[in-house]
Copies of this chain bind each other. A is one copy, B any other.
Amino acid sequence: MSKLEQTINSIKPVNPAFYEKAQKRLDNLTKPQGSLGRLEQFAARIVAVSENTKPVLNKKAIFTFAGDHGVADEGVSAFPKEVTPQMVLNFLRGGAGINVLARHAGVDVVVIDIGVDYEFGNTDGLVHKKIIRGTKNIRKGPAMTQEEAIKCIEVGIDLANEYAKKGYRIFGTGEMGIANTTPSSAIAAVFSKRTVEDVTGRGTGIDDGAFKNKVRVIEDAIKINKPNPKDPLDVLAKLGGAEIAGIAGLVLGAAANRIPVVIDGFISTVGALIAYELCPTVKDYMFAAHTSVERGHWIMLEKMDMKPILNLNMRLGEGTGAALGISLIEAGVKIYNEMATFGEAGVSDRNDGKEQEAVNLPPQTLSGGQKSEAGR
């Protein structure tokens, strides 16, 4: 059995009993039940995914996969192709958007060359996993072979296994690849059965003429390659993206290791969709970080019935949305872990018979260990 098959076989649905355990504690904290809304749901999901009633998200990583795209030759992006390796080096020096937001959220960034059309040599800090030097131009034929696509997926699986072993508790996805909204829209169109125009956006910011061209290029790519929507590996190999395949693998590996994975924006969601088409159970392990401006994004989230955490009109990729999403999920987990219960705090519960250990004032009868933060 291949590594990919093995991984898929080891993914099990999340045990709903853990949701109930988590909810029981959440309902006993000093707040009206459910009043922290989605933060409470995040906490319950983390408990259920990790099967741990005392989860702590102390080690967090975002995996930013970089790859190039032959279809960039068709003028589908506002930026030249050399920006892919330039941005990889920017990531390694900590000067990119993902570095700033990951630092803010206390998340490590792992930068992977999975398919950049540039020779980095011994560049320090880069994870060297180059499977291809960019995809081929999908307007003319398949992006890569199916063997290459599987190898790219396995890079993601291997990283998930490695970082699970290192004790990481939550993953985020990210990517960099000039022109990669083009294969992403192509894949989104195939799986969603929507028109190309429905799922195509402006990427890094192209004008009307370039947009029309982009739609035509994607339509041609689908016509020439004839991807089979029933066969996710066929779609992936033909329409491509090494970084998209890496993300699909990371999602599968995360689920196999019972690690929650936060999906960044449009391109990451395409990677997640490939994983989902291969094994729908991965959905139990995924969070959607945000809705990006890209039109196809929302359609895919709906297809997987995923509700994004944020909507801040972002469209950068790299994992930037995932960093912010992880911080909000961690906020929910801290609520679950750190808030006092009604009993601990000596706070009266509701008027309507659900009362429990209501301790009366004055304050000196109250106990509790945490130091005041007032005037800190």
CB distance from A175 to the nearest CB of B (A): 14
Write the nearest CB–CB distance from A308 to chain B, whole angstroms: 10
Closest CB in chain B relative to A64 CB, distance in Å: 9
Number of copies: 2
Known pairs A331-B104, A345-B86, A350-B78; A36 contacts B96 (CB<8 A) = no
Residue in contact with A374 in the complex, picked from B126, B359, B372, CB distance below 8 Å? B126
Q: Return the CB mask of A88-130 against B: 1 if under 8 Å, else 0.
A: 0111111111011111100011110000001011011111000
Once the chains bind, are A348 and B110 in contact (CB under 8 Å)? no
CB distance B340 to A93 under 8 Å? Answer: yes
Does A5 touch B at the CB level, under 8 Å? no
If the complex has contacts A97-B339, A108-B375, A375-B127, are A85 and B370 also in contact, measured as CB distance less than 8 A?
A: no
* Interface 1/0 per residue, A167-179 and B, CB below 8 Å: 0000000000000
Q: Which residue of B lies closest to A126 (CB)?
A: B374
Docked-complex contact B335 and A31, CB < 8 angstroms: no
- In the complex, how many residues of chain A place their beta carbon closer than 8 angstroms to a beta carbon of chain B? 93
A contact patch SS: loop
Given A30-B90, A30-B95, A370-B94: A375 in contact with B313 (beta carbons within 8 A): no
Closest chain-B Cβ to A69's Cβ sits at a distance in Å of 15
Closest CB of chain B to A315's CB: distance in Å?
Answer: 5
CB neighbors of B among A295-322 (8 A): 309-316, 320
When chains A and B are docked, how far (Å) is the Cα of A32 from the Cα of B265?
A: 15
Pairs of residues from A and B, 4 with the lowest C-beta to C-beta distance, nearest first: A95-B340, A37-B313, A94-B370, A125-B372
**A contact residues vs B (CB 8 Å cutoff):** 29-39, 77-80, 82-83, 85-87, 89-97, 99-104, 108-111, 118, 120-121, 123-127, 204-205, 293, 309-316, 320, 324, 327-328, 330-331, 334-335, 338-340, 344-352, 359-363, 366, 368-376
